[in-house]
Structure formats: structure tokens, C-alpha cells
């Protein structure tokens, strides 16, 4: 599940108040219990609320985008009974991706991608998750960021899942950059089942619009089987969790041989 949480702001509309939305997000997480959750545009206090809502069974990793690693964050949270972190990395979306707070693509504010290698404790498979949030103003920045994320994904040996708010509208070329070659595909486009209409993912707390731009997506390596996908336009008593809709994908990564020569088993529930 991927969600742009919407950062807490000082001057807000009633629908935007974090004090109103935090309990709704907690309800959503209790309903969905995602094995992997990628969140964007979240401030430290909001991230703390999300950790409480997920509970002790989850482990998380993330960073703020600024030079001191403060400010607006991207984070990865996983069900620790099913998955464990093998490696954790941070890439700033710039020509100096290892320099905290760096900017060079035309964006006024730093942008970041958090990256984890995970192991499935039940199946023995490993895969990578990248969670990112592209710039909302500069198309140049979005395209350069897409090239960097594409290059990172292309350099990884194991399957990759990229989750985020790409801010790529109908005129944007960001997805052309991300889908170059045989590196990443759109989970919605390749899913065996679609559980919802193709809602636009930025609703601004209003009713969702079918066929609107999907600026929030989950991308996967072509080897990853997408069994189902959804844009979750859930409302609680008429209220939305965020100005963006949550995006979901149920995926199956390729099995790999275990040290004894066996194959990872399927978990049934």
C-alpha cells in the first residue's frame, strides 16, 4: 500500500486537519494491515502517530528530506512477522544522491527516495522496495528524478517495487522515463484483477473521479506477478484520510532456491 499522507499545515480547511484525519488513517490501517506500507509527505509527529496505529508488529525505516534528515519524510513500514530488513539506504534525488539535503534537478526543496532490501521469512525470497515523492512544481525535476530511480532499479539483482507520489499528470513524461526498457511496469496495467474503478489518485478530499490522473502508483519489476490492484477511495462517514487516495497491489515475487535446494513455500491463510 502506498499513500501520500498529506503533511500537517498551519492553515487548513476542516477536511485537512490532522487531528481529524489521524483517527481515520488509523482505521484504514486496521482494516488493510498492509504487509508493506510506503508513505510520503509525512512530518515526524505524523509518522509517530502512524507507528502507534500500526502497532508493535511492524518495523519501519525512513528519513526527512532536509540536510539534517528532518522535515517532510518518506518511510517504509513492514509486517515484521512476515518480512525483515536486510539493508536500508537513502537516495536524495539529485546529482549527489548520497549528500543529505542535496538539490540539483530544478526543485526548490530537497526530494528523497528511501530504499530497503527485504526478506520474506515465509517464502525465502528477497526483494527491494523504493518509496519516493517527486517534485510537485518542476517537470524537469520529475524527469531527472525518474531517470535516477530507473537507474537505481536497473542496478538491482532482485525484484523491485517502487511506490510513491510521482506527480506525473497527463502531460508529464515521468512515466515514460520510469518505464524505459524492461526494468519497471505499472502494477495497475499488469494486474490480473482490478478491484476498483481506475480512480484518479489526487481527489483533494472530494469524491474520486474515474479516469483521473493516477499520479500515485506502485511499479514493479516485470518478473513480479501482480494478482490484484486497487485505488482505494475509502471514506469514513464521508471523510477522506488524505487528499490522495491509497494505492494497493497484491504481488507475488519470483521464488528462489533455498540453501537446501528446496523452494520457498506458499503461505495459506
pLDDT digit string (tens) for 131-171?
999 999 999 999 999 999 999 999 999 999 999 999 998 88
Determine the Cα–Cα distance for residues 72 and 227; give it in Å rounded to an integer: 32
**pLDDT recorded at residue 1:** 98
pLDDT (0 to 100) of residue 260: 52
pLDDT class of 261 with cuts at 50, 70, 90: very low
Q: What is the pLDDT of residues 67-114, one digit of tens each?
A: 999 999 999 999 999 999 999 999 999 999 999 999 999 999 999 999
Tell me 261's DSSP state. S
Q: How many CB atoms are located within 10 Å of the residue 197 CB?
A: 13
C-alpha cell at 62: 525512513
Residue 13: per-residue pLDDT: 86
Query: Look-up: residue for cell 481527489?
Result: 203
Mean pLDDT over residues 184-191, rounded?
98
Helix axes 18-32, 44-54, angle to 10 degrees: 30
Query: Using the 8-state DSSP alphabet, how is residue 14 labeled?
Result: G
Interior/surface letters 89-128, b for 16+ CB within 10 angstroms, e for the rest: ebbbbbeebeebbbbebebeebbbbbbbbbbbeebbbbbb
pLDDT average, residue stretch 31-41: 97
pTM here is 0.93
Instruction: Please tell me the distance from the alpha carbon of residue 75 to that of residue 64, in angstroms, as a whole number.
Output: 9
- Find cell 531527472 and name the residue: 144
Our measurement of the distance from residue 24's CA atom to the centroid of its chain's CA atoms, rounded to an integer in Å, reads 19
Nine-digit cell string for 151: 537507474
Task: Report yes or no: 182 and 242 within 8 Å, Cβ to Cβ.
Answer: no
- The answer to whether the CB of 20 falls within 8 A of the CB of 235 is no
State the average pLDDT over residues 229-243.
Answer: 97
Amino acid at each position: 500500500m502506498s499513500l501520500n499522507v498529506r503533511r500537517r499545515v498551519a492553515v487548513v480547511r476542516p477536511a485537512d486537519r490532522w487531528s481529524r484525519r489521524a483517527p481515520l488513517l488509523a482505521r484504514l490501517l486496521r482494516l488493510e494491515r498492509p504487509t508493506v506500507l510506503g508513505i510520503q509527505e509525512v512530518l515526524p509527529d505524523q509518522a509517530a502517530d502512524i507507528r502507534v496505529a500500526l502497532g508493535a508488529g511492524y518495523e519501519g525505516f525512513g528519513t526527512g528530506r532536509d540536510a539534517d534528515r528532518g522535515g517532510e519524510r518518506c518511510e517504509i513500514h513492514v509486517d515484521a512477522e512476515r518480512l525483515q530488513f536486510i539493508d536500508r539506504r537513502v537516495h536524495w534525488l539529485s546529482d549527489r544522491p548520497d549528500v543529505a539535503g542535496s538539490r540539483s534537478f530544478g526543485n526548490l526543496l530537497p526530494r528523497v527516495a528511501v530504499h530497503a532490501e527485504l526478506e520474506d521469512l515465509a517464502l525465502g525470497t528477497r526483494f527491494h522496495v523504493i518509496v519516493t515523492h517527486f517534485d510537485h512544481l518542476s517537470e524537469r525535476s520529475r524527469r531527472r528524478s525518474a531517470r535516477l530511480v530507473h537507474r537505481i532499479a536497473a542496478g538491482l539483482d532482485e525484484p523491485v517495487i517502487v511506490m510513491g507520489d510521482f506527480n506525473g499528470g497527463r502531460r508529464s513524461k515521468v512515466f515514460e522515463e520510469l518505464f524505459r526498457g524492461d526494468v519497471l511496469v505499472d502494477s495497475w496495467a499488469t494486474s490480473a484483477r482490478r478491484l476498483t474503478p481506475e480512480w484518479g489518485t489526487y481527489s483533494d478530499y472530494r469524491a474520486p473521479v474515474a479516469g483521473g490522473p493516477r499520479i500515485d502508483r506502485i511499479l514493479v519489476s516485470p518478473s513480479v506477478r501482480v494478482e490484484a490492484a486497487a485505488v482505494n477511495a475509502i471514506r469514513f462517514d464521508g471523510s477522506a484520510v488524505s487528499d490522495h487516495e491509497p494505492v494497493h497491489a497484491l504481488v507475488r515475487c519470483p521464488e528462489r532456491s533455498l540453501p537446501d535446494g528446496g523452494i520457498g513455500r506458499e503461505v495459506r491463510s
